[in-house]
Amino acid sequence: MTEHQVVIVGAGPTGLMLAGELALAGVDVAVLERRETLALIGQRALGFSSRTIEVLDQRGIADRFLDQGQTGQVGGFAWIRLDISDFPTRHNYGLGLAQQHIEHTLADWVDELGVPTHRGREVTGFAQDSGGVVVGLSDGDPVRAEYLVGCDGGRSLVRKTAGIEFVGWEATTSSLIAEVEMDEEPEWGLRRQGPGLHGLSKVEGTGTSGGRSVRCMVTEELPGRTENPTLKDLSRALIAVYGTDFGLRNAAWISRFTDATRQAAAYRKGRVLLAGDAAHVHSPMGGQGLGVGVQDAVNLGWKLAQVVKGTSPESLLDTYHAERHPVAARVLHNTMAQVALSRTDERTDALRDIVTELLAMDEPRKRIAGMMSGLDIHYDLGEGHPLLGRRVPDLDLETANGPVRVFSLLHSARPVLLNLGEPGALDVSPWAERVQLVDAQYRGRWELPVLGTVGAPSAVLVRPDGYVAWVGDGSSNGLQEAMTSWFGPPAAA
């Protein structure tokens, strides 16, 4: 029987990101994926927002994605555009990039880190005990792990086998998304009509059979179908909205999505954890899904690594659910609101006019854009400085070894104690093998999205996921407690 410290089920963006996080921490991790290859039959995600780009920047891999995609003010709320170009971040934009390219890029990174990804290996079930989890496979001997993480999508076998309830609401809308070929020039752009939202956009180049290549999204008149969609289904839906299918004759892929909205009641049951769509599903409106999954992985990875390596107690894993469950619940809430605001009756049109007017105002725009971009995430780590529990800004620091960016200090996924006061004033020697101590100076303002300027701290303790776990006010009060709470007891103990 093959054994690993951690086994991840699912090699989508969430599973691959988690694999990379664990590998950076020196954990023996393997990924099991039922698909034989990386090629996707259907795609839902077409990019991600500002905070997800920041997370990738924290690991030094953001440019791999930025070089392939298209940046711009692509964020919105129910298709009402939200401009974040004035937000205090290096990445005050969104990125348009198809999920296929996102997965390929993450897979390459994970390969570089030496993580084995076993494709064509379908999980049939598992059994856990106090010492680990035995994972059954359809094509061979089982695999044993200390921990199992289900990143296997909305129909997650891991979640179902663990007996974790998936609570929420049934679908009220159903849409087809596809990349197709058309002989005729379609009506480009977004349309709100009949059953909902529809859109046709250009794809560079021509299709494999010489037709015009088009990416389309069309809402179906009769939601509730669950079988795999066909070219005939797509043609029927296009004709219902546009009166024609524009000479539709070929499809690279077709997929169906709904606004079914559900969330796992628990993100952990014993030695089994959930992340990404296995933990939460919702309408893709607003483009938050892929990013939320990637951020789940970055929150969980360093915590699971510390537990596996014995530096932190198992109770640290409870903070994963405590922090990430409310974030996803908020996404579920705002996507339901967006679906409601996208209906096409006259009363909804009146409401939409008022919301559009509100979002043109500065303060409402910042609040909603902060939520949609993920830049306003605030974990409840207690009372104190506004930085506590929020993402650390990517400041340009001055150190004895020259200039350095805060995010570059997080490339190795290790926590950082940033001392901005008197050099040598803080002692982390009992945690020296776990926490980087950096003496630095910063001469600019501390600005946070939505909140604005905050008071300059004397020091900050930054977790591997980029969130501030302790803020200094000229003394080291509370520092040892924070270090022990997040990164285990001092080595001398």
Q: Are 122 and 138 in contact (CB under 8 A)?
A: yes
DSSP 375-422: TT-B----SS-TTTTBBPP--EEEETTEEEETGGGGTT---EEEE-SS
Q: Which pLDDT value is given to residue 475?
A: 87
The two three-digit tokens of residue 350, written as one number = 């009146």
CA distances from 421 to 171, 401, 438 (A): 54, 17, 11
Amino acid in position 62: A
The angle, 0 to 180 degrees and rounded to 10, between the axes of the packed helices 318-341 and 346-359 is 120
Q: Which pLDDT value is given to residue 221?
A: 78
Q: Which pLDDT value is given to residue 225?
A: 66
User: Parallel, antiparallel, or unpaired: how do β-strands 47-48 and 123-129 relate?
Assistant: unpaired
Length of the chain: 493
The two three-digit tokens of residue 25, written as one number = 């921490």
Q: Are 193 and 241 in contact (CB under 8 A)?
A: yes
The two three-digit tokens of residue 314, written as one number = 């198992």
- Cα 488 to Cα 465: distance, rounded to the nearest angstrom: 16
Residue with tokens 């989890």: 133
Q: Are 1 and 141 in contact (CB under 8 A)?
A: yes
Q: In 3D, which of 326, 290, 284 has the Cα closest to residue 76?
A: 284
3-state DSSP call for residue 68?
A: coil
Q: Which pLDDT value is given to residue 192?
A: 85
CA distances from 225 to 230, 255, 262, 335 (A): 12, 12, 18, 21
- Cα 298 to Cα 54: distance, rounded to the nearest angstrom: 12
What torsion do the CA atoms of 473, 384, 456, 84 make, to the nearest 10 degrees? Answer: 160
pTM over 0.75: yes
User: Parallel, antiparallel, or unpaired: how do β-strands 459-462 and 416-419 relate?
Assistant: antiparallel
Q: Which pLDDT value is given to residue 206?
A: 53
DSSP 156-190: -HHHHHHT--EEEE--S-EEEEEEEEESS----EE
Buried b (16+ CB within 10 A) or exposed e, 413-449: bbbbbbbbbeeeebebebbeebbbbbbbebeeebebb
Q: What domains sit in the chain, N to C, each tagged with a CATH number?
A: 2-168+262-373 (3.50.50.60), 174-258 (3.30.70.2450), 396-487 (3.40.30.120)
Q: Mean pLDDT per 10-residue run, the chain (493 residues)?
A: 95 97 98 83 74 98 96 92 96 92 96 96 94 93 96 96 96 90 90 86 67 88 74 92 92 89 97 98 92 97 98 97 98 96 92 96 97 97 95 96 97 97 89 95 94 96 98 92 96 67
DSSP state of 361: S
